[in-house]
Structure 1
Amino acid sequence: MIYSASRKTATWPLFWAYVLVILYASLYPFDNWRFQSALSWAFLTDPWPRYWTGFDLFSNLVGYAPLGFLLTLAVHRSRRRWRGITLSVSAAAVLSLSMESLQMFLPVRVPSNLDIALNVLGAWMGAVLVQVMVWLGWIERWGRFKDRWFEDETEASGALALLAVWPLALLFPSPLPFGLGHVFERLESSWIEFLWGSPWLEWWPMRVLELQPMTSTTAVLCMALGLLLPCLLAFGVVSRQPQRWAVAGVCLALGMLASALSATLTYGPAHAWVWVSAEVGKAAVWAVAGVLALSWLAPSMCWALAVLALVLQLSLLNSAPADAYFALTLQTWEQGRFIRFHGLIQWLGWLWPYALLAYLLSRLSSRDAGSPSPFR
């Protein structure tokens, strides 16, 4: 099995994106930096920490596994295939040592030799998993699967990356189920706070009227569009009808499960489905109807409709205030054990729709103007 250049290249952006994830999780909360008069790397030779939790062990072990997996996959060749393991372990050791050393400047973080050992072990596990998949023929089967299901591999790689991030973005609580990208209200308040006391504040246009709460019909529309958007994204790279229905079914199921997991992490397993209301049910029905109706369109038309749907949803979401209970939900989440990751997932929830919009516009502009008829 020999990778084509496009397959090798498509993995590198995912690898570097995950490096940024590790940087964020390792150096959070990025404030109260301090400089000690005498820096010491004695923690490298200290005995194992006496106090630790199972969650810390699990997160440090599993957190670096995707790093080793993606790096080994990116450098994989038919020959010298074990080189990826050595490179992944070395990169994980350097990155982990750098992060633990920088934690000496953060008062709320404690560097640990156990964390480094677990990080390296996790990267090794991820690298070995790639070799096992190669030995079992799964990598080659995945290549054939992509050839059967997707028309253009370059476009499919970007679409698959966005689809993979979408359930993660849904984990952070949003004012409305599947309503990602609600940023205008927070950006406006932050900007006003920044300009407070400045003469520029009186020149800044202020809204005279308060934001009106979202009506039930508008809420159903926003949730239905939120469920439909990943399906339309997938339709742009999948052309066959049965495959489109299968991908749409997976997207809808992942959206529901990710929202249930978010409620579980926030309130506990007993409240996993408390967010499912009559409005959510109506939105799901409309999303399924939209999938069946739009699955007959050509890929370019699906993406064009996705742009229109995305702009409409963002406009409706950002023209209404957040629910009164939303602040309590955020406080419950941020005080939990996922404090190091809530900010990262929140950024995903904020930026995913805008990354989708940029991707769709760039791919639509690169396609030929003389496209075939939008109907099959």
Structure 2
Amino acid sequence: MVAPVPAASAAPAASSFARVSLLVYTLLIVYASWYPFSGWRDMGLGPFDYLGARLPYYWTGFDVWTNVAGYAPLGALLVLAMYPRLRPLWAIWPATAVGVLLSASMEAVQTWLPTRVPSNLDLITNSAGVFLGAVLGALSSRYFLRESRFLAMRRRWFSGEASRGLAVAGLWPLALIYPQNHLFGMGHLVPPLSSFFSDLFDTPIDLATTWINNAQLSAEQYWLADVIVTACGLTGAALLFLMLLRRQAPRRRLVLLYLLACIAVKSLACALFFAPQNAFVWVSPSAAGGIMLGAMMVAGLSFAPPTAQRRVAALALILSLAATNAVPANPYYISTLETWVQGKFLNFDGAAQFLSVLWPFLAIWFLYHPVHRKQK
């Protein structure tokens, strides 16, 4: 029996998708602004002394546009999240004020980070990005907050409680940007824990090196681990997305499109951060085997009830998470990180790593959320 599509409510409704996305994006900004979270110390400066300092002598157009582009989504999400308490056009200035305060706070805390430099130019460009994003969010709100073809398609194809899931599913391709030990194997806690314990005990601690020295695997074992992690990661993410779709939606085509979009983002990131000829450097026999195995699992489970899909998705992500942290890092992965281009992308590198670690936990939280009892 096909579940009925809910009728549009007469009263304007808040966007859960916008609010969840706003929360996650704010966490990404915080992480990117304070990365690498090490070496905290008092350098005798006030947190807001940077406001009265001269503008930096050395800056590039890349720095300016990166700051504008980084904060523009924040402004748009703030406007969309304030609806219906504030109409989009009225929300532009409050959204801009919130974004400016957030940026000023991020710069102020950098005063205690020796690897970061608080900058009034960054505050100006971030503020410009928030304002631009808020204006764009207000102008485009009719496509997302009111009756439109986009919302009609959303109601026709996706369940009524899919907003949180769409936010989580939309973050998966972005989480894939940072190099992983295994394709689709996210939640690698060893590097951030090594940094945390190093700062806590004021002694360099490399948990990855310790683990590698104590547990070496053969090439065949690495190959098998890569297949398992890749298959489980793909299965968990694809089933999570599949659960959001109604029976009358073109489910298989949408899942296939979703997976192809994720692979395209991964390839584009490899081309950008390594070299254009390395766009498909992530392709390996073990990764291809994991993709094939995961695709077969998803194809078979597409006929299963939502409850079974939820349980298998959660189990697959838990297995992927456990294997990712239990299997020693592949030496090839370590050499890949050494060639990972940071430089001007230091902020982006921190946010990408944070999202790569966070995503499986966010997905598992969503899969065990009681809202699934209401989904049809």
Give the TM-score, by structure 1 length.
0.81
Larger radius of gyration: 1
Shift in Å at residue 303 of structure 1? 0.9
How do residues 248-287 of structure 1 correspond to structure 2 at under 5 angstroms? 248-287=255-294
Kindly indicate whether structure 1 or structure 2 has the higher relative contact order, using CA contacts under 8 Å at least 6 residues apart. Answer: 2
Question: 1:102 and 2:89 equivalent?
Answer: no
Given that 2:183 and 2:226 are in contact with CA atoms closer than 8 Å, whether structure 1 keeps it comes out as: no
Separation (CA, whole Å) in 2 of partners of 1:115 and 1:3: 43
Separation (CA, whole Å) in 2 of partners of 1:149 and 1:108: 47
What's 2:158 paired with?
150
Question: 1:235 and 2:242 equivalent?
Answer: yes
* Percentage of identical aligned residues: 34
How do residues 341-360 of structure 1 correspond to structure 2 at under 5 angstroms? 341-360=348-367
Letter in 1 for 2:292: V
RMSD: 3.6
What's 1:323 paired with?
330
What's 2:59 paired with?
52
Separation (CA, whole Å) in 1 of partners of 2:195 and 2:111: 34
How do residues 133-148 of structure 1 correspond to structure 2 at under 5 angstroms? 133-135=140-142, 139-141=146-148, 142-148=150-156
Give the TM-score, by structure 2 length.
0.81
How do residues 209-248 of structure 1 correspond to structure 2 at under 5 angstroms? 210-213=215-218, 214-240=221-247, 242-248=249-255
Stretches of structure 2 that go unaligned for 5 or more consecutive residues are: 1-7, 204-210
Shift in Å at residue 261 of structure 1? 3.0
CA deviations on 1:306-361 (whole Å, 9 max, x unpaired) are: 12322333344344221112222222226543223323322322232232223212
CA deviations on 1:46-83 (whole Å, 9 max, x unpaired) are: 55433112331122101111111111001134975321
Letter in 1 for 2:21: L
Separation (CA, whole Å) in 2 of partners of 1:179 and 1:173: 10
Letter in 2 for 1:147: R
Q: Which moved more, 1:227-236 or 1:100-109?
A: 100-109
Letter in 1 for 2:250: Q
Given that 1:2 and 1:78 are in contact with CA atoms closer than 8 Å, whether structure 2 keeps it comes out as: no
SS class of match (2:368): helix
From the superposition, tell whether residues 4 and 63 of structure 1 become closer, same or farther in structure 2 (CA, over 3 Å). Answer: farther
Separation (CA, whole Å) in 1 of partners of 2:199 and 2:116: 29
Given that 1:150 and 1:237 are in contact with CA atoms closer than 8 Å, whether structure 2 keeps it comes out as: yes
Match of 2:171 among 150, 155, 165: 165
From the superposition, tell whether residues 194 and 237 of structure 1 become closer, same or farther in structure 2 (CA, over 3 Å). Answer: same
What's 2:318 paired with?
311
Separation (CA, whole Å) in 2 of partners of 1:207 and 1:35: 36
Given that 1:239 and 1:299 are in contact with CA atoms closer than 8 Å, whether structure 2 keeps it comes out as: no
What's 2:3 paired with?
none
Stretches of structure 1 that go unaligned for 5 or more consecutive residues are: 198-205
From the superposition, tell whether residues 250 and 14 of structure 1 become closer, same or farther in structure 2 (CA, over 3 Å). Answer: same
Letter in 1 for 2:163: S
Given that 2:310 and 2:367 are in contact with CA atoms closer than 8 Å, whether structure 1 keeps it comes out as: yes
Given that 2:96 and 2:130 are in contact with CA atoms closer than 8 Å, whether structure 1 keeps it comes out as: yes
